Structures are given as structure tokens and as C-alpha cells.
Amino acid sequence: MGVSKMSDCIFCKIINKEIPSKVVYEDEKILAFHDLNPTAPKHVLVIPKVHFESLNEMTSEHAEVMAYLTLKLKEIAGLIGIAESGYRVVCNCGADGGQEVKHLHYHVIGGRKLQWPPG
């Protein structure tokens, strides 16, 4: 584990500070930063620092960091002020899932009443 080195991955570049981002939370395992094109008043992305493409590439080696990341979500939601009002966590996977960036990420979205079901 550790800082990812995928040179053509924009989220690895964000982790490595080669591309700027507005960091909400960071530690040695994960990074949370504001989405560049927010879909709601509050929209952050939470990523493991280890590079893997999607849920389809997740293996038991990633179990510890993903459990850690998941446990951190409520704290990150609190940092952007939506822990109490509520929020949605989304992980797009593959073409039909609408995944554009091929580094696993959770969207944490809130700050307004969200519609359900998604499109």
C-alpha cells in the first residue's frame, strides 16, 4: 500500500499533488477532496491512496483500506457539514455505472434533498 504511482491517472496526480485539489481530509491511507463539478451543494470525492480501477478490481488486499475509508465517511460528511442533514454515497462502476475516472472513488453528496431513484 502507499502513495499510488499510476502516472496517467488524474486521481493519483491529485494524491501526489501534481494536480491541485481542495482537500477536505487527508491521512496516509485516504484523501477526500471537493469535486470539480459538484452535482449538489456539497460534493466530495473520497479515494484510497492505493490505485485500483473500480469495484471490479477490488481484492482482499484492499479490504483493510476500504473498511477504513468506509468508517471515515461519517467524519468526512461532518467536515463538510452534512452528517446530520444526511447524504448519499455513490460508487460508479464501469460504463453503464457512469464511471469516468478509473481510480476507485466514493462520491459523498448532500446539502439538499436528493432525488431517488437515480437516473
Contact residues for Zn ion (CB under 5 A)? Answer: 4, 6, 9, 11-12, 51, 103
Smallest separation, CB 50 to ligand AMP (Å): 17
- Residue closest to 99 by CA, chosen among 47, 62, 50, 64: 47
Task: Show the binding pattern over residues 10-39: x = contacts ligand AMP (CB under 6 A), - = does not.
Answer: x--------x-x-------------xxx--
Smallest separation, CB 84 to ligand AMP (Å): 24
Q: How far apart (Å, rounded) are the C-alpha atoms in residues 22 and 7?
A: 21
Contact between 8 and ligand AMP (CB under 6 A)? no
- 105 as an active site residue: the answer is yes
Helices (H) then strands (E): counts for the chain: 3, 5
Phi and psi dihedrals of 9, rounded to 5?
-105, 120
